[in-house]
């Protein structure tokens, strides 16, 4: 029997001062179609008039490299 908790295998990684913050979803509310980013930004993930959501626009503002 393994006495280690599965949570002990996870580790917290803190970004160094040189690395830009990664904008990822911190809180997603499906019913309201809203997202809160780890940077504190809060907005809609519903498609807008032009097709892109506020979340997509937020990500594109901070995109550092092409995939």
Residue with tokens 């970004």: 15
Are 24 and 38 spatial neighbours (Cβ–Cβ below 8 Å)?
A: yes
Predicted confidence at residue 62, as pLDDT, reads 84
Model confidence pTM above 0.75? no
pLDDT in tens, 20-61: 778 888 999 999 999 999 999 999 999 988 888 999 999 999
**How crowded is residue 34: how many other Cβ atoms within 10 Å of its Cβ?**
16
Are 2 and 8 spatial neighbours (Cβ–Cβ below 8 Å)?
A: no
């Amino acid at each position: 029997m393994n006495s280690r908790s599965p949570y002990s295998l996870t580790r917290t990684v803190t970004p160094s001062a040189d690395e830009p913050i990664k904008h990822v979803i911190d809180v997603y509310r499906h019913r309201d179609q809203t997202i809160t980013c780890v940077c504190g930004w809060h907005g809609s993930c519903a498609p807008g008039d032009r097709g892109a959501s506020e979340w997509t626009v937020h990500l594109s503002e901070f995109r550092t490299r092409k995939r």
